[in-house]
Amino acid sequence: MGNGSSSAPKSSAAEASSGNKLEKAILTKNIPEIHKLLKNVDINALDKSSGNTALHVAAAKGVTEAVRAILTVKKLNPNLENIHNTTAIILAAGNGHREVIELLLADPRTDPNYESKLGFTALLVAVQRGKEDVVASLLACSRCDPNLRTSKGGNTALHVAVVKAQKRVLDCLLSDPRVTKDIQNDEGKTPGDILQARAALLAADA
């Protein structure tokens, strides 16, 4: 699991110019230009204006072919955080870009369990935002740990699904035989405890 220690290098003036052109090519979905620019750019450098690497931009916008091209670069580190302490796979998960998620997961360099400095993983963000199809894709990856407890609060994806009342996502998680229902968070509560507490509150308000 990542611990937020993967930070991207700052770019030089020349690299920044190439980076700006690459970001523009990604946003306009100019795939031939992307392939051309990838030959002469520091793929892991943060753009000074946006605070993102090229992969962050492509993943956030769901530009699948751009992500595919960027993943061909041998020096790529797909687990870098941008200036907002977010990785490419977390951005893709939060925005519901399933195809991008599957491309990233197919690359062995991508850590699906990477936890950012903010305490987020791709699975937690997808669960929190109700992205059921993304949750399903992440769970289909054998490297993804559905029982991972976050360093902040100790919650698992199941805890988050219960708190956010994401029923379809909850059903998706419970359909995975790896998911453990009795893991306690830092407050000593299991997902079931939280569910019971919510039911009691609803009953009291009825």
Average pLDDT on 125-145 reads 97
| Secondary structure of residue 7 in the 3-state scheme | strand
Is residue 167 domain-resident? Answer: no
Domain that holds residue 113: 13-147
Q: Residue 187 domain-assigned?
A: no
122 within some domain: yes
Mean pLDDT of all residues in 37-49:
91
DSSP helix/strand/coil, 57: helix
> Rounded to an integer, what distance in angstroms lies between the CA atom of residue 124 and that of residue 150?
9
Residue 183 has pLDDT above 60, yes or no: yes
Confirm whether 199 is domain-assigned.
Answer: no
Torsions phi, psi for 81 (to 5 deg):
-95, 145
Cα separation, 73 vs 130, whole angstroms: 32
**Residue 2 structure tokens:** 């990542």
Q: Is residue 73 a part of any domain in this protein?
A: yes
pLDDT of residue 165: 81
Q: For residue 158, which of 189, 181, 138, 177 has the smallest C-alpha distance?
A: 181
**Is the dihedral angle over the CA atoms 132, 138, 142, 148 positive or is it negative?**
negative
Neighbours of 3 (CB within 10 A): 10
pLDDT of residue 180: 94
Cβ proximity of 149 and 123 under 8 Å: no
pLDDT of 10 over the 70 cut: no
Q: Are residues 17 and 45 in contact, defined by beta-carbon separation less than 8 angstroms?
A: no
* Residue 64 belongs to a domain: yes
Q: Helix 54-61 to helix 13-27 angle, to the nearest 10 degrees?
A: 10
Is 94 within a domain?
yes
Judge whether 136 and 157 are in contact, CB under 8 Å.
no
pLDDT over threshold 70, residue 17: no
Q: What is the structure's pLDDT at 3?
A: 54
- Burial class from Cβ neighbours inside 10 Å (0-12, 13-18, 19+) for residue 157 reads buried
pTM: 0.86
Domain containing 79 — which CATH number? 1.25.40.20
Instruction: Say if 125 falls within a structural domain.
Output: yes
Our count of domains for the chain comes to 1
Q: Say what the pLDDT of residue 197 is.
A: 77
